[in-house]
Amino acid sequence: MKTQEIPQDGLAGLKQNWKTDALSGFLVFLLALPLSLGIAKASEFPPAMGVLTAMIGGLVVSFFAGSRLTIKGPAAGLITICAGAVTEMGGGATGWQLALGAIVIAALIQIVFGLLKFGSLSDFFPHSAVHGMLAAIGLIIFSKQIHVLLGIDPATLKGLEPLELYERIPYSIMHEDPRVTLVGVISLIIIFGMPLLKPKVFKKIPAPMVVLLVTVPLAWIMDFKHTEPAFDMVQIGNFWGSVGFNADFSLIGSFVFWKYVIMFLFVNSLESLLTVKAIDGLDPWKRLSNPNKDLVAVGVGNAVSGLIGGLPMISEVARSSANITFGGRTRWANFFHGTFLLVAMLLFIPVIEMIPNTALAALLIAVGYRLASPNEFFKTYKIGSEQLVIFVTTIIVTLATDLLIGVGAGIVMKFFFHIVNGAPLRSLFKARYELTENNGTYSVRIMDAAIFSNLIGYKKLFHSFQPGKKVLVNFSDSKIVDHSFMEAFYHFQEEYQHTGGQVIANGFDNFRAFSNHPLATRKYDPEKQLRLEIKLDSRQVVLRKFSEENEYTFYPQRVRNAIRYKDFPIQQGARIQYEENILEKYLENGRITVSDVTLSEGAGQAQSESRITLVQVAETDFVIPDFALEPENLWSRLSELTHGKDIDFTAHQQFSKKYYLRGDSEEQIRNFFSNGVISFLESKEAVHIECHRNKLLFYTKRQLLQPHEIAALEKFVEEFLERIDQNVTQAV
């Protein structure tokens, strides 16, 4: 549990963290290999070129990257652009090489953009439009890969638009290859079924690798090599012989060439920058990346990849999230991931050619589903109905035209909503505010509108504040504050508080939120009176009754208060979005706070949310070492390699088998866990306990607790504190 010691960078970081980074790099490699093959094949590139791209992303880009935990490689979000470029430039090997030329030119412009510090331009694009673009890409991926999963010859589908491909699905189902389809369906069952398995270890195993471990033997048993058409199997061919100078610039004077240069540049840069921002939020050490430096690094990787035959790469969100989950600490995890891919292409090409394409199609269908799942529509709607309109508009226009026009339509729709809701034209692109500084306090008065199109100006303002001070932001003179600004403002609050500063927002009393989401767009409403209106749901009604019966003060409002849990292990690889239904009271040995917390794991389209009830004890008089205690299982035993040694007690074998205990100060932890504390824990049901800076955190499961379960956990906490008090008394 290294909450204070920030991992070193460079060669010192390699020496310090090579074990954890190598393990994480290997596990990410297991995830990246099949996905890279599938993405390349769906992009109309030779399949192995996807692996080449990821190799370059690890072996080359790691040394230049401005982010520490992101994994570089090919991404599903660029499939439609790559495939479109190859097709429109002639198809086959000719189209592939001409598309490489466009990738190289886009990469060179990308490097220039990074050097000119254009990384912040990603803030201009509203999130609902960007997510709409990704959802449209997901639908396009599905429209193509469902036919591959069914064993249909891809040559019969060339030239068909997404809507035509959807119309073709019934025909493909009627003419499917039963044996190929069986392998594809089994792959889908594995991909979508593994997350439903309850044991924690199954959630840590890369599903794509399990798919290969099952489908490769199946294809061998059914002799796909000799009984199925060649298009049903992965074909690598002479990979190392095809790696060389492959880019062709002969169409550089044509419209279609520059059309794809712009599309590669726009989507590649945007996806990569958004991923870097999202992964920073998951970094256990809260290190901030340099987006401009990372943009240059990705540009260098794209230039090298494009010249010798690979796809464009980005900071890929799913693999980067997995890197954090697997315990990656520095950029060397990305390097090791690239190294293992290199070894695979040197030694295991014959094995890779045993992979059935229907399995890769299943992996891509799963990716497409994540991009365009019903949950994406629901999450967007929860932020506000106007966000859903922008989201759906972007999807429809993208499917009907292309990505650039689709995103443009989403932006136009966003401007329409803002103007209708009172945003003055003068503030559409200019951040208007008044700033004063007095006695170490910054006071900012936001004028007119704070929206996505003037967000860059506000971010420059936020970055100008010296750390460790107090910032007061008043919105009372604003007309509208949109979701993009609210999200950026929340990240600023979180980052600034980590520097020791304080950010207070006020002036929203007469604003009407477009939904009950904490980051929903807010519009000034002169008819709204200064009053608090709360409609309690069924859980809140039950908790209010429980609080009255047990002398708690009850706050049902949803609030942002992640700073309360700063540096606790529960936030390693995850982040607390907000908490609600807060119950507080004072015990004999401190203040107890019970709250329902929304915890997000992963990032972007790979993000998942869960609601969990936490109990925190603060304001105690005890001196307690930092530690993390959790029920021991197979995965926690494996976690010793990345999260720290399990501190066992020879005289208490039952406790040592029951719990995984870790922390930096082993001697202090051993002194704290006296015979009385250990005996108490041995006699009770296993509970997660974390301590940081004398504050204790308790939870029993990653779910919401019912009132009787809260009461039982409260009793456990009180008895645990009594045992600590006895330790202190005996020591005196």
Per domain, the residue ranges of the chain are 10-408, 425-524, 539-731
Half-sphere exposure of 335 (CA within 13 A, CB side): 22
pLDDT tens readout for residues 586-628: 888 888 999 999 888 766 656 677 899 999 998 888 889 999 9
How would you classify residue 129: left for phi > 0, otherwise alpha for psi between -120 and 50, otherwise beta?
alpha
CA distance 259 to 102: 9
Query: pTM of whole model > 0.85?
Result: no
Give residue 529's Cα distance to chain centre: 39
pLDDT at 636: 61
pLDDT at 366: 92
pLDDT at 528: 61
CA-closest candidate to residue 27, choices 594, 642, 541:
642
**Looking at this protein, which amino acid is placed at residue 677?**
V
CA distance 274 to 418: 23
CA distance 485 to 491: 10
How would you classify residue 609: left for phi > 0, otherwise alpha for psi between -120 and 50, otherwise beta?
beta
pLDDT at 638: 58
CB atoms within 10 A of CB 308: 18
Structure tokens belonging to residue 696:
């204790």
pLDDT at 642: 61
The CA distances from residue 328 to 21, 74, 331, 339, 663, in Å, are 5, 20, 8, 15, 18
Asked if residue 636 lies in contact with residue 199, where contact means CB atoms within 8 angstroms, the answer is no
Mean pLDDT by 10 residues, the chain (732 residues): 69 92 93 94 95 97 94 93 95 96 97 90 82 91 95 90 93 96 96 83 81 95 94 92 95 96 94 85 82 95 97 92 88 97 95 95 93 90 92 94 88 94 92 92 95 92 92 94 90 80 87 85 76 72 92 83 75 79 88 90 69 91 90 67 79 91 90 92 92 92 93 94 75 44
CA distance 328 to 322: 9
Three-state SS string across 212-261, please? HHHHHHHHHHCCHHHHCCHHHECCCCCHHHHCCCCCCCCCCCCHHHHHHH
pLDDT at 563: 67
Among all chains, which residue has been given the structure tokens 């389809």? 181
Record: fold of 425-524:
Transcription Regulator spoIIAA (3.30.750)
Phi, psi of 58 (to 5 degrees): -90, -45
The CA distances from residue 490 to 10, 447, 472, 565, in Å, are 31, 19, 14, 16
CA distance 169 to 147: 7
pLDDT tens readout for residues 457-503: 999 999 999 998 999 999 999 999 999 999 889 888 878 877 788 88
pLDDT at 536: 81
Asked if residue 56 lies in contact with residue 334, where contact means CB atoms within 8 angstroms, the answer is no
- β 478-481/448-450 pair status: parallel
